[in-house]
Every structure is written in structure tokens, then in C-alpha cells.
Amino acid sequence: MLTLRNASERGAANHGWLKSFHTFSFASYWNPAEQGFSDLLVINDDRVAAGKGFGQHPHRDMEIFSYVLEGALEHKDTLGTGSVIRPGDVQLMSAGSGVAHSEFNHSQRQGVHFLQIWIVPNVSGAEPRYQQEHFSEAQKRGRLQLIISPDGADGSLHVRQDARVYAGLFNGDETATLDVAANRHLYIHVARGSVEVNGQRLHEGDGARVRDERQIHLSQGEDAEVLVFDLRPHELPQMP
């Protein structure tokens, strides 16, 4: 069963330099029916103006990853890590016992569009760490590429949770099928474009909770970029 979460129903914030849509409750957006799903706590769809960004701020006991769609995002943290994240890059920061970081638009001329996603970890107080990997368009074209997993399989980033994240690009006749293990939930987020999932059309910003399905089939994409989360069969996130 697919339960659709329409893009138009998301929370919205406009701070001038930052325009953000919140799939789940975040900051000033509060929706008692949207408090996350399984171990997935946050999906923020952020657009940051040229030269602007988030100053240094702390996190702990959270798996936070950034997925850039357009532009370039500059990251610095108290682990001594500094990098620029561009389309195709996936950055995962495991905050663990505590880390502070900043995120700024790397460009002084054009905006940056990215997703920031939080997954609740399965352990508290772990050593903070940072990972970044590039996944090419060819790796994602017409298929679901594993980008995050609990064991770092197939070159994916290692998350401290029983969760897997796939990314795919679909256009025209390109299709992909993902088998779903028994007693697993999925969450699907369309980052851009549109695509059919098991015959239902999802558009940019739409999401869907998937329960009691043994397979999902993606087809009829129109310049679609999609993230698929394979999650434990829980309804709401719980901190370790």
C-alpha cells in the first residue's frame, strides 16, 4: 500500500536567503500527523541564495546527509572536515557524541538546491565521523543505486542504522524494480521531475509511505530524480 504525501501539503518557510519545504515536522512547522516515518526523521528541501548559508551550529546523535541537486554546498565542521558538495555527491555526517558544522552556498552568483535528511541512529554517544562519496549519473540512470547502507555495501556510505537509501534517475522508457523484504517499510521521495511508482504518478516534492508491498516498480519518468528509503517496520522514529 502506498500512502501519498503531496508536495503542496509540506511545511514551508521563507527567510529570504533560505526557502525550505519540510516533509516532516521541523523548526516552526508542526504537524502531529507528520513526525517522521520509521527511522526517517527529517527531509528538508532547501534553496539557499548566493553567498548565504547556515552558520556553525551543533548536532548530536543523528545521522545527517546532504544530497545536492543544483549548485554547490560548502561544508565545514569541528572534526576539521571541509569540502564542497556538488550534484552527484552524497555527504553523511554522523554527529554521535557531538559535532558542530556550517553549510554555505559556495557560489556568490547562483543559488544552491539540496536535500538535508536526518536518520535516527541505533546507538548514542558514538564517535562523530564524516563521509562523502560521488555517485555518477551513469550509476543512477535507469536504476536504483545504493548510496547509504548499514554495512557500506557496494561503495555506499555507512549509516549507524538498519536503513538503506537508493537514488535513481528516470526518463522515458527507463524502469527499475526493487524487491522489498518481508517486514520492511519504504519511503519514496521525488526530488525533481515526476515518475510512476506501482502505477501512481508522483511529482516533484511528493513522497509516499510504502507498507505491505513486496516490490516497487518505477516507470514513466519525466526527468525524475528519486530517493528510496528501505526502513525498519516502525511508524515513528525513536531515539536510542
Q: Which three cell numbers mark 215?
A: 516490490
To the question of whether residue 185 is assigned a binding role by annotation, the answer is no
108/52 Cα distance (integer angstroms):
8
Cβ-contact 169, 224 below 8 angstroms: yes
Q: Which residue has the cell 545504493?
A: 146
The beta strands (E) that lie in 24-152 are given as: 40-48, 53-59, 63-70, 73-77, 82-85, 89-94, 99-105, 112-119, 129-134, 145-149
Instruction: Tally the residues of the chain.
Output: 240
To the question of whether residue 103 is assigned a binding role by annotation, the answer is yes
224/219 Cα distance (integer angstroms):
10
Residue positions forming the annotated binding site: 57, 59, 101, 103
Residue positions forming the annotated binding site for Fe cation: 57, 59, 101, 103
